[in-house]
């Protein structure tokens, strides 16, 4: 049992009675781990690009055996499960070629080491292969698979795939006892084996680019597919604009329209066809009218996105060729069709997918460690920002209900069953995609100003576009402020229309211009401008400066009545250091830039051998980019301000890398936040590593700098910015109506100056005055940061001994808790 104690570090105690591991620290929750004989982990991928492995405990110990199946972007999950398994002192095996490998046995099950899953994070697909297995669909095939598992003592399966694969795994689980009895009757196993391996436990991870599995906001692989789609759309837009063309893009997704819908939202498409929301009768006329109106407004290109499973209200297919022919015949526009096809399945996994898969992989191991014979098969899902466990078959049944609803023409129900994320995406797209005639718009007589404050962040322009268009839809007159509060004080403010923000979604930086200047020294001038332009509300999009600016406006209300209006802050900064939110607009784009650079640097280090790179990231005093970049890039260490370190830790890291150079992985990667320590600078760490590593490895350094602020926004930042901006504008409209009395707006309560942030699973409006107590103003960071809980995960996967906080783990929930009704409470 000493090895178990070592596995989790000194904070963990090994309990008695059932072999329970208990947390001594109040931050850590206890989880049970059976100790005895005859269990191991098996991971087996059987989807498009997948593979598997099983873990077995040391001689005399009983561990759980798991089978896993995966597809695109699953290498991060395979790596996490394998390394977490080895971390708990288990042997790990790959099962090649998915279920086929499980049926065939033999050389398809191979023991692997820690190094076996090195350098696979950046590789698409799966390194252990996958195959469609007809024999596993038969009882005879499953009987042979059961025999191969029992021979190796495997009694737990970790399956990565879609609803079909997960359903097959659950059927295998239900048949398990009967299969063992049949094997005993045939004399292939003895009665002792039947008793010893009487139960099969299953945990699933959903891997599908279609994002068609109910119960999770995002499946592994979806974000990477969106990256491929948006890359193509951005490239096509330049040629379409040059030649005034219309492009019809067909994207994958089978019978789910998620990819098409989110792509349309991310690029501002003119029209989108998805199977869950078929167009109404006469859609041909409506679409042509909209396209011609857009051309009349001097828009030089049109983008139409078609999901491969798109249908009309009579359940008849709508194809990309049909749409093209319609546009050519009715409007005479030069129109082209592009079918993206399997390009969406390939390429390098995004930072989001790598982190999601790593978190899910570790959660799957914990689920199997805690499983008992009475534990139902579960699936690890994403709800907002939380990894949760849901009953597998509840999710499968709800997924099947969606298709049934569409077949029966119950499309409203189909959208609801898809989940809150899908429903919110659809509602936001409908809100932004088409401008109503002026005569049909409400007249509110309110003026709302939008401005950017702080450093540029990708996704700011998408947020401005959404704010302007939703504001106009609500009947407001929208104003754009140029160059932040400094420009506001100088009167750089102008009315902005629906068409003015066309094409802004995919542009990086800040088109309005942004400065870090706080309003404190311009309060009187800003008040004059608000009075002159009759500004009734403000939307401030930016980073820590935006949050601080709104605090200053809030505190100045007693002196300037002009600031007694609804004010909403949207967090937009690559540093992700704004209190009151787990995510900020722009951080995902910066993270992808860091990870892409790290991938290239690792490739260089692999070629030269025995080389360690020190990478400096931005973020001020916030270590989000360094820590999450290290997790996504597979770094060996990350130095951040939030976790103070000394020379002894630096020395320990050097020794760790020295030991690593003795293995087959002869390269190292270390990330450092720019302000992690005043004295241990990037140059100091570089010189220390160079000196201490003499004769073992050499060292190089890279300061990434402002490249982290540039580039086109990622799909996540485009959609996150769009959705929270639309929600913020609706909140402003509500506050304007509530505070309008006697011909003027007067809002002087704390809840009229709010920051809209994502907290765990929900979008929450929080008064900035209340957030002051959660803020470290000296270092410009929140006092508590959720991502610090993932720091031990990064260390574990880099082969350091540490403890892992599982306080958010272990709770099996029901799918009903994640229904779209949560959207009413602010869920994103």
CA 233 to CA 264: how far, in whole Å?
Answer: 10
Out of 104, 210, 599, 636, the active site residue is: 210
pLDDT over 70 at 53, yes or no: no
Dig out the tokens for 482 from the structure: 């140029």
Strands 447-453 and 477-481: parallel
| pLDDT in the model for residue 26 | 28
pLDDT score for 111: 82
Question: What's the whole-model pTM score?
Answer: 0.89
Distance CA 266, CA 408 (A): 30
Contact 264, 506 (CB under 8 A): no
Residue 62 has a pLDDT of: 40
Cβ distance 118 to 602 under 8 Å?
A: no
CA distance 729 to 716: 20
Distance CA 573, CA 562 (A): 27
Would you state the pLDDT for residue 281? Answer: 92
Mean pLDDT of 793-801: 91
For the cut 50, the answer to whether the pLDDT of residue 63 exceeds it is no
- By three-state DSSP, how is residue 310 classified? coil
pLDDT per residue as tens digits for the range 614-629: 999 999 999 999 999 9
Annotated binding site: 132-133, 162-165, 208-210, 245, 252-254, 308, 336, 342-345, 516, 573-577, 611, 618-620, 674, 700, 706-709, 780
Mean pLDDT of the 803-813 span: 67
Contacts of 66 (CB under 8 A, 6+ apart): 40, 41, 42, 43, 54, 55, 81, 154, 156, 157, 158, 201, 203, 364, 365, 368
**157-204 pLDDT, tens per residue?**
888 887 778 888 899 999 999 999 999 999 999 999 999 999 998 889
Contacts of 568 (CB under 8 A, 6+ apart): 537, 538, 539, 540, 728, 731, 732, 753, 754, 755, 756, 765
What sign for the dihedral angle of Cα 780, 784, 789, 795? Answer: positive
Q: Are strands 20-23 and 31-32 parallel, antiparallel or unpaired?
A: antiparallel
| Per-residue pLDDT tens digits for 396-423 | 999 999 999 999 999 999 999 998 889 9
DSSP code per residue over 128-169: T-----SGGGSHHHHHHHHHHHHHTT--EEEEEE-HHHHHHH
What is d(CA 616, CA 619) in angstroms, rounded to the nearest whole number?
A: 10
Quick one: residue 39, left, alpha or beta (phi over 0 = left, psi -120 to 50 = alpha)? Answer: beta
Two tokens, residue 170: 């659950």
Distances (CA, A) of 744 to 446, 481, 733: 9, 22, 14
pLDDT at residue 13 greater than cutoff 50 = no
Residue 210 is among the residues annotated as catalytic for this protein: yes
Burial of 800 (0-12, 13-18, 19+ CB in 10 A): middle
Instruction: Report d(CA 529, CA 527) in Å as an integer.
Output: 5
pLDDT at 51 over 70: no
* Least confident range of 2-16, 125-139, 375-389, 749-763: 2-16
- Write out the binding residues for substrate: 208-210, 245, 252-254, 308, 336, 342-345
Q: Give CA torsion, residues 599, 601, 603, 604, to 10 deg.
A: 170
Main-chain phi, psi angles of 467, to 5 degrees: -60, -45
DSSP symbols for 180-224: HHHHHHTTSS-HHHHHHT---EEEEEEB-TT---TT-S--BTHHH
Residues 199-251: pLDDT tens digits? 998 889 988 899 999 888 899 999 999 999 999 999 998 887 788 889 999 99
User: Six-digit token pair at 24?
Assistant: 């001594």
Q: How confident is the model at residue 61 (pLDDT cuts 50, 70, 90)?
A: very low
What pLDDT shows up at residue 454? 96
Binding-site members for beta-D-fructose 2,6-bisphosphate are 516, 573-577, 611, 618-620, 674, 700, 706-709, 780
pLDDT in tens, 710-761: 899 999 999 999 999 999 999 999 999 999 998 899 999 999 999 999 998 7
Quickly state the pLDDT bin for 56 (edges 50, 70, 90). very low
């Amino acid at each position: 049992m000493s090895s178990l104690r070592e596995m989790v570090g000194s904070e963990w105690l090994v309990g008695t009675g059932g072999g329970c591991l208990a947390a001594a620290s109040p931050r850590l929750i206890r989880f049970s781990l059976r100790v005895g004989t005859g269990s191991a982990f098996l991971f087996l991928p059987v989807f498009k690009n997948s593979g598997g492995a099983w873990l077995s405990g040391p001689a005399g110990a009983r561990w759980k055996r798991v089978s896993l199946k995966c597809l695109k972007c699953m290498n991060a999950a395979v790596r996490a499960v394998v390394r977490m398994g080895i971390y708990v002192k288990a042997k790990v095996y790959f099962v090649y070629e998915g279920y086929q490998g499980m049926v065939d046995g033999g050389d398809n099950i191979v023991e692997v080491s820690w190094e076996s899953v090195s350098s696979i994070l950046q590789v698409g697909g799966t390194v252990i292969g996958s195959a469609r297995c007809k024999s596993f669909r038969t009882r005879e095939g499953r009987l042979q698979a059961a025999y191969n598992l029992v021979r190796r003592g495997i009694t737990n399966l970790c399956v990565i795939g879609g609803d079909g694969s997960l359903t097959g795994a659950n059927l295998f689980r239900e048949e398990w006892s009967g299969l063992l009895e049949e094997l005993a009757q045939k004399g292939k196993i003895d009665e002792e084996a039947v008793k010893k391996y009487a139960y099969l436990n299953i945990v699933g991870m959903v891997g599908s680019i279609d994002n068609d599995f109910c119960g999770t906001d995002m499946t592994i692989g979806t974000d990477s597919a969106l990256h491929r789609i948006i890359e193509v759309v951005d490239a096509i837009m330049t040629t379409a604009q040059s030649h005034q063309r219309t492009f019809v893009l067909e994207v994958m997704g089978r019978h789910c329209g998620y990819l098409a819908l989110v792509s349309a939202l991310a690029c501002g498409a003119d029209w989108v066809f998805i199977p869950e929301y078929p167009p109404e009768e006469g859609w041909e006329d409506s679409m042509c009218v909209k396209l011609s109106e857009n051309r009349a407004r001097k828009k030089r290109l049109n983008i139409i996105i078609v999901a491969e499973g798109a249908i009309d209200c009579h359940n008849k297919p709508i194809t990309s060729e049909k749409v093209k022919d319609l546009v050519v015949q009715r409007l005479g526009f030069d129109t082209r069709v592009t079918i993206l096809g399997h390009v969406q399945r390939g390429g390098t996994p995004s930072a989001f997918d790598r982190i999601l898969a790593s978190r899910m992989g570790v959660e799957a191991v914990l689920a199997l460690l805690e499983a008992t014979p009475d534990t139902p098969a579960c699936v690890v899902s994403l709800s907002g920002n939380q990894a949760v466990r849901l009953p597998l078959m509840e999710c499968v049944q709800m997924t099947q209900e969606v298709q049934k609803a569409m077949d029966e023409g119950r499309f409203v129900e189909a959208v609801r069953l898809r989940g809150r994320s899908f429903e919110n995406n659809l509602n936001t797209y409908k809100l932004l995609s088409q401008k109503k005639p002026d005569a049909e718009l409400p007249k509110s007589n309110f003026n709302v100003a939008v401005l950017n404050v702080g450093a540029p962040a990708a996704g700011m322009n998408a947020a401005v576009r959404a704010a302007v268009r939703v504001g106009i839809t609500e009947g407001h007159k929208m104003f754009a402020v140029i160059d932040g509060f400094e420009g506001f004080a100088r009167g750089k403010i102008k009315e902005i229309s629906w068409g003015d923000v066309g094409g802004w979604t995919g542009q990086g930086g800040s088109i309005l211009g942004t400065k870090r200047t706080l309003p404190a020294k311009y309060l009187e001038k800003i008040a004059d401008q608000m009075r002159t332009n009759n500004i009734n509300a403000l939307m401030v999009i930016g980073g820590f400066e935006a949050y601080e600016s709104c605090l200053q406006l809030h505190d100045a209300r007693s002196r300037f009545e002009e600031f007694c209006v609804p004010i909403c802050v949207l967090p937009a900064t690559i540093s992700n250091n704004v209190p009151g939110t787990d995510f900020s607009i722009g951080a995902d784009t910066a993270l992808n830039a860091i990870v892409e650079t790290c991938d290239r640097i690792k490739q260089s280090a692999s070629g030269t051998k025995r080389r360690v790179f020190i990478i400096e990231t931005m973020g001020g005093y916030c270590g989000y980019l360094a820590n999450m970049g290290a997790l996504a890039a597979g770094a060996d260490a990350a130095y951040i301000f939030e976790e103070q370190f000394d020379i002894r830790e630096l020395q320990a890291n050097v020794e760790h890398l020295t030991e690593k150079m003795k293995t087959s992985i002869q390269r190292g990667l270390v990330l450092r936040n720019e302000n992690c320590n005043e004295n241990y600078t990037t140059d100091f760490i570089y010189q220390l590593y160079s000196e201490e590593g003499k004769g073992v490895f050499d060292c190089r350094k890279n300061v990434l700098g402002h490249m982290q602020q540039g580039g086109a926004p990622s799909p996540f930042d485009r959609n996150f910015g769009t959705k929270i901006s639309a929600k913020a504008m609706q909140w402003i409209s509500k506050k304007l109506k509530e505070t309008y009395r006697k011909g003027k707006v007067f809002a002087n309560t704390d809840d009229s100056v709010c920051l809209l942030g994502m907290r765990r699973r929900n979008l929450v409006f929080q008064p900035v005055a209340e957030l002051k107590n959660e803020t470290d103003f000296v270092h410009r960071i929140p006092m508590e940061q959720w991502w610090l809980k993932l720091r031990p995960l990064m260390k574990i996967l880099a082969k350091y001994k540490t403890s892992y906080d599982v306080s958010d783990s272990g709770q099996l929930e029901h799918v009903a808790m994640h229904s779209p009704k949560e959207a009413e409470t602010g869920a994103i």
